[in-house]
């Protein structure tokens, strides 16, 4: 019987046949795909023909087509619907794939061919896109250690292999801690909680088979519980469990993994001739150097800290007024901040949420994409990896553009957070290949028959991830290696963060923010109050983010700390971290940084991109229309369709004519007047 992962996928738009795939199919499929890739690499390396762009660089682009297809299906399922078998497969595949990657980068005959093409690049009459792909291919080999010999090459290979295992272990430990912990709530514990929080807690209890409502470590449940529960003791218990993920001792503790990861990254960087891992990592980003990153973060840190300390003093007085002695604690902040928001802006999330239905916010994100870029979205049927997953065909002027896959609800088998990925990326080297783009979120699943309701932050997350999806859908390049979101890390968040701005356009909310029970539009007064509170508590939000970004940077910008937790404490003390705020992601659950090296030394990139997104949306404001057709067309032509085919700074300058300063970011966060 043919393995369904390796057979021709006779499904709508060539989607993976998840209805036919079993967990037992992945190991033989990966083995076969790896063998195919190795054969392709050997054929390129041993080709007797003179090296040229087609027989070397383009051949490399095609070498892993089967492997990419198999892994695209597997890793999407493993991240969004894990189980013990899939977790075991991740542990099995990590060293195998690392070994294959090292084989490719260490293949001297292969690199000699790439080098030969690079050396004669001026004679080859390459297009601009081909020159870019050649540069990135050559640079990738060099940064992967292709020029190392002997012991140095062996040590680099061992470090990369071990890092791949550690990253997998880190994520699985975190998922286990998040999956296993929950706090039952008795009837008295529900007093004062809004109906939507109680409903979410009951749904979580049903999933856990707990016999009643529970609080879990899913952000979509624990954050509103911390906002609304008047039980300080329960808030503390829940918050401390949330903060202790990955640091509970035993087999799921991530602290030793973090220490070993940092040590191996330092070793990897030094083997390649860099002072630190941050120097190595940032060399290819827009920022360029650790100092440039630190300068940005500190320019934002001081006004954010000043605003947060002012807010903390007010919240602490509210705490004392309720009869509690002592300082404001981290588990108090969201509770008293929610009360203060209601006082200042007459805004209550319980009043707001019925107007932010998941289905209507999905419609809003689609409608904005239609007005900006002419995209149409039609629900379709097809194989999915979980019953909650939804499919849409994306078209423009009747032509197929992409398949969009939405997986929105939290569940125990899904890792935390929200992300965008592509099971198939756009390119034209092997025909007109259109993307299969996935958005994964962790919104609270409602009770059966009830609509899913979002917080305003949830709605922003939905728009954010859809901005990434548009970057994939509108990609228009020849080569898969530079397709869609294959751009520098501190540029990749620009399209996603820019798209969040359309959620704040009043006419969008006026049309799509409709009440779940009455279907009435959000009252203008409520809409204005919601938008007026957009920068409320921004000191807190900025401090918890920037603290995490600074810790990430300092972890990698010098000798690896023997004890990352001690180093974390020293960094936070040195910047004057307010005691009532903790890092958004403490080291043991900082998956952005320790699940792999994608965001290592790069968590700052959200803020680097925010400097650009605030300025980029200003282009529409200057045109006098958030849907200005000419500006939207220019945005697509420069930023969204180009992938990594042009240097990121050049793409941005093509759109705006210049690079922005930090002023737009501070203004957008309401921090421009902070002391």
State the catalytic residues. 465
β-pair type (436-443, 399-409)? parallel
CA–CA distance, 48 with 53 (Å, rounded to integer): 14
Strand partners of residue 402:
394
Residue 484 corresponds to which tokens in the numbers above?
Answer: 């869609």
DSSP 41-69: HHHHHT--SPP-IIIIIIHHHHTTHHHHH
Structure tokens at 406: 């939405």
Q: Which two tokens stand for residue 392?
A: 């849409």
- Please state, in angstroms and rounded to a whole number, the distance separating the CA atoms of residues 55 and 305: 55
Q: Residues 133, 479: contact at Cβ < 8 Å? A: yes
The CA-to-CA distance between both ends of the chain, in Å, stands at: 70
In the numeric block, which tokens belong to residue 54? 């087609």
H or E element that contains 367:
helix 358-373
In the block, tokens 């699943």 appear at 445
CA distances for 309 relative to 350, 541, 548, 651, angstroms: 27, 12, 18, 38
Coil, strand, or helix at residue 402? strand
For the chain, the maximum distance between any two Cα atoms, rounded to a whole number of angstroms, is: 83
Q: What is the DSSP letter of 427?
A: B
* Cα 249–chain centre separation: 27
Question: Residue 431: is it exposed, middle or buried by C-beta count within 10 angstroms (0-12/13-18/19+)?
Answer: exposed
d(CA 145, CA 90): 25
d(CA 230, CA 649): 49
Dihedral sign from CA coordinates of 95, 101, 105, 107? positive
Selection from 88, 79, 80 nearest residue 26 by Cα: 88
Q: ∠ CA 651-656-658 to the nearest 5 degrees?
A: 85
């Amino acid at each position: 019987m043919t393995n369904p992962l390796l057979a021709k996928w006779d499904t709508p738009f060539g989607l993976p046949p998840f209805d036919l795939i079993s967990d037992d199919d992945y190991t033989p499929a990966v083995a076969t795909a790896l063998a195919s890739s190795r054969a392709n690499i050997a054929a390129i390396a041993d080709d007797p023909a003179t090296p040229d762009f087609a027989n070397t660089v383009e051949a490399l682009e095609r070498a892993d087509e089967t492997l990419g297809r198999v892994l695209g299906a597997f890793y999407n399922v493993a991240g969004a619907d894990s189980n013990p078998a899939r977790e075991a497969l991740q542990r099995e595949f990590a060293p195998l794939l690392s070994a294959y990657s090292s084989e490719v980068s260490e293949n001297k005959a292969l690199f000699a061919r790439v080098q030969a093409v690079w050396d004669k690049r001026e004679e080859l009459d390459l297009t601009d896109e081909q020159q870019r792909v050649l540069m990135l291919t050559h640079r990738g080999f060099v940064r992967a250690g292709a020029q190392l010999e002997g012991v140095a090459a062996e040590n680099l290979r061992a470090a990369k292999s071990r890092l791949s295992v550690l990253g997998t272990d880190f994520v699985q430990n975190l998922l286990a801690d998040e999956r296993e912990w929950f706090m039952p709530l008795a009837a008295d514990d529900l007093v004062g909680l809004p109906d939507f929080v109680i409903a979410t807690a009951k749904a979580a209890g049903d999933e856990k088979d707990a016999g009643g409502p529970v609080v879990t470590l899913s952000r979509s449940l624990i954050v509103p519980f911390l906002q609304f529960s008047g039980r300080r003791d329960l808030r503390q218990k829940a918050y401390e469990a949330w903060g202790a993920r990955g640091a509970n001792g035993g087999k799921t503790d991530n602290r030793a993994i973090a220490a070993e990861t940092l040590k191996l990254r330092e070793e990897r960087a030094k083997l390649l001739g860099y002072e630190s891992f941050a120097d190595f990592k940032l060399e290819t980003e827009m920022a360029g150097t650790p100092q440039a990153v630190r300068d940005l973060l500190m320019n934002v840190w001081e006004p954010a800290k000043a605003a947060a300390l002012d807010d903390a003093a007010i919240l602490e007085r509210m705490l004392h007024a309720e009869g509690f002695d002592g300082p404001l604690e981290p588990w108090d902040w969201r509770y008293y901040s929610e009360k203060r928001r209601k006082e200042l802006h007459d805004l209550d999330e319980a009043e707001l949420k019925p107007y932010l239905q998941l289905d209507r916010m999905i419609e809003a994100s689609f409608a904005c994409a239609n007005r900006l870029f002419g995209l149409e979205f039609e629900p379709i049927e097809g194989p999915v990896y979980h019953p909650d997953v939804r499919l849409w065909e994306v078209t423009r002027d009747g032509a197929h553009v992409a398949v969009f896959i939405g997986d929105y609800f939290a569940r125990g088998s899904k890792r935390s957070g929200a992300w965008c990925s592509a099971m198939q990326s756009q390119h034209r080297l092997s025909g007109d290949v259109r993307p299969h783009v996935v958005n994964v979120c962790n919104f609270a699943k409602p009770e059966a028959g009830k609509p899913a309701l979002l917080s305003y932050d949830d709605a922003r997350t939905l728009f954010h991830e859809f901005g990434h999806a548009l970057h994939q859908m509108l990609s228009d390049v020849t080569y898969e290696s530079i397709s869609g979101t294959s751009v520098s890390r501190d540029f990749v968040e620009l399209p996603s963060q820019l798209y969040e701005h359309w959620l704040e356009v009043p006419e969008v909310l006026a049309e799509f923010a409709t009440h779940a029970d009455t279907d009435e539009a959000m009252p203008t007064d409520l809409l204005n109050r919601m938008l007026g509170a957009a920068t409320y508590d921004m000191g807190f939000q900025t401090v918890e983010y920037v603290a995490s970004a600074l810790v990430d940077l300092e972890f990698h910008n010098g000798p690896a700390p023997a004890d990352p937790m001690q180093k974390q404490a020293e960094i936070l003390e040195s910047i004057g971290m307010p005691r009532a705020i903790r890092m958004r992601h403490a080291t043991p659950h900082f998956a952005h940084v320790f699940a792999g090296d994608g965001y290592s030394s790069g968590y700052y990139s959200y803020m680097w991109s925010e400097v650009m997104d605030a300025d980029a949306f200003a282009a529409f404001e200057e045109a006098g229309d958030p849907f200005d057709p000419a500006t939207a067309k220019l945005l697509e032509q420069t930023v969204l369709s180009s992938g990594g085919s042009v240097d990121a700074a050049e793409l941005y300058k093509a759109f705006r004519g210049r690079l922005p300063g930090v002023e737009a970011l501070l203004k957008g966060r309401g921090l421009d007047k902070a002391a």
